[in-house]
Amino acid sequence: MNLLKDRIGTLYLKFLLPSLFSALVTTIYSFVDTIAIGQGVGADGAAACAIIYPILGVASLFGFLCGIGGSVRYGKALGEGKPEKANAYYTASLLLVLALTALVWPATALWRTQIFTLFGANDRLMPLVLEYGDWIIWTFPAFILSAYLTCMVRCDGAPNVVMGAVIAGGVFNVFGDWFLVFPMGMGMTGAAIATAGGTVIQLLVLWGFLFTRHSRLRLVKPWELSKAIFKAVTAGFSASVLEFAFIVLTCILNNQIMRYGGEVALSVFGVVLSCSGMFQHIYTGVGQAVQPIAVTNYGAGQLRRIISLRRVSQWTVAAMGILFMLTGVLFPTQIIRFFVDATPEVLEAAPGIMRIYFLSFLFMGVNIWAVFYFQSIMQTTISTVLTVLRGVVISALLLYLLPLWMGINGVWWAMVLTEALVTGITLVCIGYTSRILRQKMAKMPIQ
């Protein structure tokens, strides 16, 4: 495929369909994890899952910092017709992710109990959290490097390889969840082995692609290593902030839920978090489908194509938001029964929680998609500011203020208002950057 000449609609579908399929497969095995734990271990297992999720966000943080940063610079250099420069960015970003993995992995292993306590674990849930979390920490490099290579391989024009890697890992994960949790009776340990094993398989498939003739990714000597690393980091900073914000936000949510709602509310939130993870994966899939096309055309000065791509992808996430919101508003009890062997207390609490929280998914898609879009047109400051507002500033402020007079419902409404406010700011930023692109187009010579 030619990212500079093929029709935008055709290119978009070629990247979107594998990205969405990969997101759906990832979601399916996340769902199977939650179902296996919820049905095999119970409501406490679902609550423990809500505490474990942020550690996966830590892995994604470092993987995306280097992977999205490296892929954005790699794609822009390819658009400029400079493959040697592109591979210099790839090499620099790979060295960086390996160095960060070597630093982060021992730290998470050494302070894992303290980390899980920070994420909201209490004495009752900690044994279940450690039973699952230890397996994740032992295989932590696989989670970081898999996130990194997903970005690089997709930007190398191989979205189908990424999809194949996700499918291979997902098949192992789904089968492992069923076999290890139920016939083998291994509970949280079985689910953890399935998740860790699936990620290792995904990494091996992606790594194997690098040694095929189809890959353009080559290790070269960066002309200025520190400069290349700095440019890659700044390009990927907002995506890593997105993951950091997810970690911080989940910690605040878990602790506020335990404070105002207790373990019953946290059990429901464990299911909500699984649904949220699915929707975020899908929204991220749209953003990742846009990024290789947009950044390559930006490097080549093909700005009209970027505007066309922005319109079609923006409508995609808006339509998805309506669909995802309606699922929780219309079918809260069915969703909770699907995931968890629910107690009467959980069934009573679920509809009120889910009908409020699911309203946030109407706006979430635009906010996540915008991070990738603004990165692709080198508006990294806007991307970072929006991420910080959404993930830390507005959300944290509302999470601490609204429950003071609304109780536990204030926690759920805080998330809805955060997403809605950030969407309003995002639309203003889209209008601003679109005017800049049009002004640049007006100055270009007519070809």
CA distance 84 to 31: 42
Confidence at 400, pLDDT banded by 50, 70, 90: very high
CA distance 171 to 98: 27
pLDDT tens-place string over residues 147-180: 899 889 988 888 889 888 988 988 898 888 878 8
pLDDT tens-place string over residues 96-145: 899 999 999 999 889 988 888 887 777 888 888 888 889 999 999 999 99
Per-residue pLDDT, 236: 61
Residue 341 or 185, more confident: 185
What would the mean pLDDT of 387-401 be, rounded to a whole number? Answer: 88
pTM of the model: 0.70
> Which alpha helices (H) appear in 156-261, and where do they start and end?
159-181, 187-209, 225-260
Per-residue pLDDT, 428: 95
Residue 447 has pLDDT above 50, yes or no: no
The pLDDT > 70 percentage for the chain reads 93
**Residue 329: exposure state from Cβ atoms within 10 A (0-12, 13-18, ≥19):** middle
- Are the CB atoms for 354 and 332 separated by under 8 Å? yes
Contacts of 323 (CB under 8 A, 6+ apart): none
Residue 355's Cα: distance from chain center in Å? 23
